[in-house]
Chains A and B, each alone.
Chain A
Amino acid sequence: MSTVRRLLATALSCCLFSSTSAIAQSCPAGGFDYMGVPIAFSPDHAAYYFATDHKLVDADGAPNAYHPADVPNTCPATGRGIDCLAAAGYPDGSWWQTVLVADPEDPTRPAIQQDGPYKGFFVSMTSLRNTAFAGPASTASYVDAAAIPYIVLPAPIYRTDGMGEMGDIGFATNLDTGQTTPFVIADEGPVERLGEASVAFWHALGAQAPNPRNGEGLPDGRIAYVVFPGSAKDAKIGWPIDKAALAREARTRLDAVGGLAALRSCAQPKTEIASASAVRLSK
């Protein structure tokens, strides 16, 4: 039995490496590492790839993200807002004004939604915004984390040339399950690892009920990403963002760089593919 398994593993290994090496020839070789994650650029820098199993949920932009009645400085698994106030830096953080809209009449406190289905909640912002659409105090001017798959770029990545701007788009796949999602870059994070994304992003990749408060409910698996820097200029995804248009625009760009096979291969440098395969074969 063990001989059969060994033969099977060898055969599988041959197929796996021959198919990935064919794609790998067109994969970029250069790039840089960020917190242990290799980032690889296409030769024309129109795309970059990375893969990570680190996952964090962002609720920013969701109209029900933060509620003033939630207890500050603690983060129980449930509450009125889908995320806890501490995640917005409120009230003790120095940076809540970067997450919550300040009350125009008293900028020392956050504005509260005065009407609509989430009346009484704070107004949560995203870096990607269109305040001309509904004004700075409206949730409609920001990207709803519960509805739109978006990713968050850590500040050190966002402040690196060629890593994309707010509104650029991309595509991600769960390497373990094959589930996929398009995404838009919609928020900037602090100094943190790659792998933070919206509630809707994680839903699309297999999460049943991702909880931004504690990270529970996130899908298993390693996620591969391809980002298309500069795509915001000509990707027509509308405002409010049209999910179908986002999917269409991202898919077109993914296909142009070789589709899902290229994403799977290029997001993981050769050495990583080899070690990941070895782990899978040994299971």
Chain B
Amino acid sequence: MIALPSLALALAATTPVHAKAWTPHSAAALLDASFPSEQACQTALDAAREHERLTPSKPVHDLSYARLFAQARCGSAVRKTGIVWRIRMHWPRRP
């Protein structure tokens, strides 16, 4: 339902982090965003978690945004333009 957004689009979608409830599309945009530094990525992730802690949004099929963001970590990726930082998901493994 969504295609790969540009960095500008992704950041625009994540900008109102402190103003709006999380939606499936705004959270996806955050996961799709590229950041110029690890700090910028971590700041966005921390802000997302904090917003969800203060004003929980409606879960998606029992998956809360708090749990979603709890599985997220910032990691680097090599692109043609250099190194970017992105959010990657790390789900708890079943034994």
Contacts and interface: CB of A to CB of B under 8 A. Distances in A.
B89 A191 contact: no
B52 interface: no
A35 B61 contact: yes
A94 B12 contact: yes
Interface in A112-158: 125-127, 129, 152, 154-158
Contacts of A220: none
Contacts of B29: 94-95
A30 interface: yes
Contacts of B93: 30-32
Given A30-B93, A160-B88, A160-B91, A191 B60 contact: yes
B62 A99 contact: no
A32 B3 contact: no
Contacts of A152: 1
Interface stretch (A1-9, A182-190, A237-245): A182-190
Contacts of B71: 156
A38 B62 contact: no
Interface in A14-68: 29-36, 38, 58, 60
Contacts of B66: none
B41 interface: no
Contacts of B1: 58, 60, 87, 99, 152, 187, 189-190, 192, 196
Contacts of A35: 60-63
B31 A155 contact: yes
B60 A192 contact: yes
Interface in A143-201: 152, 154-161, 187-193, 196
Contacts of A89: 25
A161 B88 contact: yes
Contact of B2 (A33, A34, A157, A190): A190
A187 B28 CA distance: 13
Interface of B: 1-5, 9, 12-13, 23-29, 31-32, 60-63, 65, 68, 71, 86-95
Across the A-B interface, the 5 shortest Cβ-Cβ residue pairs:
A190-B24, A155-B28, A32-B91, A191-B24, A160-B89
Given A94-B29, A97-B5, 20 more contacts: A32-B91, A32-B94, A35-B63, A36-B62, A60-B1, A60-B3, A93-B25, A97-B9, A98-B2, A126-B3, A155-B31, A159-B31, A159-B86, A187-B3, A188-B32, A189-B2, A191-B60, A191-B68, A192-B60, A193-B61
